Amino acid sequence: AQSVTQPDIHITVSEGASLELRCNYSYGATPYLFWYVQSPGQGLQLLLKYFSGDTLVQGIKGFEAEFKRSQSSFNLRKPSVHWSDAAEYFCAVGAWQAGTALIFGKGTTLSVSS
Amino acid sequence: EAGVAQSPRYKIIEKRQSVAFWCNPISGHATLYWYQQILGQGPKLLIQFQNNGVVDDSQLPKDRFSAERLKGVDSTLKIQPAKLEDSAVYLCASSPSRQGNTEAFFGQGTRLTVV
């Protein structure tokens, strides 16, 4: 069965510092991987996605993520965090079978300190 | 392009009452999802529709939850009777296809509080 683990419940980063949010997945074949962001009172917005090909994926708002098959990981990174990045971040995995909905991790809350 | 619309945004009800949520997906999106997001957790799929047919409702508590997508467009999710543990944000999402590599677009959600 597919599953997603986000080991960090809450992370605080200083504004301007770099960020890495961890995501580990469990899936028997090549997964489809997503990162979503949720600001308070808002729905989920897609940051980036990985389906195949280049393992380093660029997304919106300056985010990137790297797929590492050997580690079953898909960590999200940003070189310099802005105060507006404070939000909750969700990693999700999809399967190649048609009709399989996304499975989400429990999320990581990012706080940005000045 | 208009996004996924949900209403109401907030709802407070007493336990044992009934409640209904409405979702209008992005035009042309055949796949529609209802997710439940309990505070501090990630979204959990309740039900998935392809057009007006149910693809997956394995995690829907069918003794109290029901959902329909008449005519393959709008959808309603109903809870009757509500329990305290149903307090959550109910997210509707839509996608142009059922393929696993297809992005899902989310609405802003309905926050339900059961007291």
Task: Summarize pLDDT for B2-41 with one digit per residue, the tens.
Answer: 899 999 999 999 999 999 999 999 999 999 999 999 998 9
User: Averaged over A26-39, what is the pLDDT?
Assistant: 87
What pLDDT score does B1 carry? Answer: 64
- Residue A52 φ then ψ, to 5°: -170, 175
Residues B51, B37 contacting (CB under 8 angstroms)? no
> How many angstroms separate the CA of residue A10 from the nearest CA in chain B?
11
How would you class A73 by CB atoms within 10 Å of its CB: exposed for 0-12, middle for 13-18, buried for 19 or more? middle
The verdict on a CB contact (< 8 Å) between B91 and A44 is yes
Is residue A102 predicted with pLDDT exceeding 90?
Answer: no
Q: Is the pLDDT of residue B99 over 90?
A: no
The shortest C-alpha distance from A72 to chain B (Å) reads 18
Lowest pLDDT segment from A21-35, A44-58, A77-91, B93-107 = B93-107
Asked if omega into B81 is within 30° of 0 (cis), the reply is yes
Residue A97: its pLDDT value, please? 65
- The pLDDT value given to residue A31: 84
Dihedral sign (CA B110, B75, A87, A24) = positive
Nearest of A6, A102, A41 to residue B45 by alpha carbon? A102
CB B76 within 8 A of CB B68: yes
- In chain A, residues 70-89 whose CB comes closer than 8 Å to chain B: none
Which residues of B are less than 8 Å from A103 in CB distance?
45
Taking CB atoms within 8 Å and a gap of at least 24, the contacts of A60-66 are A61/A37, A61/A85, A63/A35, A65/A33, A65/A35
Is B44's CB within 8 Å of A104's CB?
yes
**pLDDT at residue number B100:** 65
Q: Do A94 and B100 touch (CB under 8 A)?
A: yes
Res. A29 pLDDT band, cuts 50 70 90: confident
Q: What is the pLDDT of residue B72?
A: 85
CA-to-CA dists, residue B111 to B15, B35, B88, angstroms: 15, 12, 6
Q: Predicted confidence band at B70 (pLDDT cuts at 50, 70, 90)?
A: confident
